[in-house]
Amino acid sequence: MPDRGAVSRAEPDPAGAPGALSPRVSPSSDVAVACEGVSLAYGARTVLRDVTFAVRRGERAAVLGPNGGGKTTLFRALTGELEPVAGRVIAPGRCGVVPQTERSRLDFPVSALDVALMGAVSRLPWWRRPGRADRAAAHAALERVGLDAMADETFGDLSGGQRQRVLLARALAQEPDTILLDEPTAFLDLGHQVRIHRLLSGLHQERGTTVVFVSHDLNLAARYADRIVLLAGGRILRDGPPAQVLTPDALRAAFGVEVRLVTDPELEAPTVVVLGPAASF
């Protein structure tokens, strides 16, 4: 039986200061999140084996892969929700988490503002109640995602796309070092997809926020990520800059499709055009 894996995370000090480094990680380290030989399973079914990568502080990284390829499983490990059966996950800083909205409880009578305020409250010591400044931070986060006018609406009554943006506002209110997002543009129309990624890019530029997002959209990942981790067959198939990862051979192996790559000189990122299924699939 393999040893259970570990998750190295920041532990708040007694005064409530968030983001203290785990003793497993050197204070001089520039690692935002990392996996070292991580294997993940549900019961007897192993989903990912021997996953090793490190996202540096200030990077924007996308995790791509086919359905059932382990993207959300890896996300759950990075957030500490799923414990590795082998290896360890390192996340030394303060992480804001944006899960898929379909995993959110909708039966609690809380408003959009209440949900965003949870992010601000997470920065407080346990004995302190949220105050005016915390509510202002929650309103500001909702405003950044274009939903401050709906602050008093019940969270469960919002559309899927609106709930996704509220969950992003909750993460923003935490003022995190790193934001982890699982399909952040799911349920969003094209306009809001671009706005969300531009917002994340703005945080990256303004604060040096590390952004790690799971996505099905190859072209959004190519445009808004500095680096792509491509999962397939329970392992990392490719890891590197978009132009090195999104190749016809890699996408054929991962998704079973033939593609053509077009590079727009203004975007400086490849655009993937799917031609059809690969002959071997």
Please check the confidence at residue 28 and state whether its pLDDT lies above 80: no
Q: CA angle 106-109-112, nearest 5°?
A: 80
Over range 185-193, report the average pLDDT: 87
Domain residue ranges in the chain: 1-94+176-246, 106-175
Using 50, 70 and 90 to split pLDDT, how confident is the model at 96? very high
Look at residue 263 in the predicted model and tell me its pLDDT: 86
Please check the confidence at residue 57 and state whether its pLDDT lies above 90: yes
CB environment 133-162: b (16+ within 10 A), e (fewer)? ebbebbbebbebbebbebbeeebeebeebb
Q: What percent of the chain has pLDDT over 70?
A: 86
Using 50, 70 and 90 to split pLDDT, how confident is the model at 268? confident
Which is more confidently placed, 64 or 12?
64
Say which DSSP state 45 is in: E
Say which DSSP state 62 is in: E
Highest mean pLDDT among 8-12, 184-188, 201-205, 239-243: 239-243
Whole-structure pTM value: 0.85
Please check the confidence at residue 36 and state whether its pLDDT lies above 50: yes
Q: What percent of the chain has pLDDT over 90?
A: 62
The 10s digit of each residue's pLDDT in 107-146 is: 678 999 999 999 888 777 666 777 888 899 999 999 999 9
Q: Regarding beta strands 60-64 and 6-9, do their DSSP bridges make them parallel or antiparallel, or are they unpaired?
A: unpaired
Using 50, 70 and 90 to split pLDDT, how confident is the model at 148? very high
Look at residue 170 in the predicted model and tell me its pLDDT: 94
Look at residue 5 in the predicted model and tell me its pLDDT: 52
Cα 167 from Cα 114, distance rounded (Å): 11
Look at residue 59 in the predicted model and tell me its pLDDT: 95
What is the residue-wise DSSP string for 258-281? EEEEEEETTTTEEEEEEEEE-TT-
Look at residue 242 in the predicted model and tell me its pLDDT: 95
Over range 247-257, report the average pLDDT: 96
Say which DSSP state 194 is in: H
Q: Hey, what are 171's tokens?
A: 């993460």
Query: Mean pLDDT score of the chain, rounded to an integer?
Result: 86
Give which of 244, 238, 209, 249 is closest to 53, Cα–Cα.
Answer: 238
Please check the confidence at residue 200 and state whether its pLDDT lies above 50: yes
Give which of 182, 222, 238, 179 is closest to 203, Cα–Cα.
Answer: 179
Cα 221 from Cα 127, distance rounded (Å): 41
Which CATH architecture fits 1-94+176-246?
A: 3-Layer(aba) Sandwich (3.40)
Look at residue 8 in the predicted model and tell me its pLDDT: 53
Look at residue 100 in the predicted model and tell me its pLDDT: 83
Over range 216-235, report the average pLDDT: 95
Q: Regarding beta strands 178-182 and 210-214, do their DSSP bridges make them parallel or antiparallel, or are they unpaired?
A: parallel
Count the residues in the chain.
281
Over range 87-102, report the average pLDDT: 87
Beta-sheet strand order (sheet of 45-56): 6-9, 86-91, 31-42, 45-56
Highest mean pLDDT among 161-170, 197-206, 218-227, 267-276: 218-227
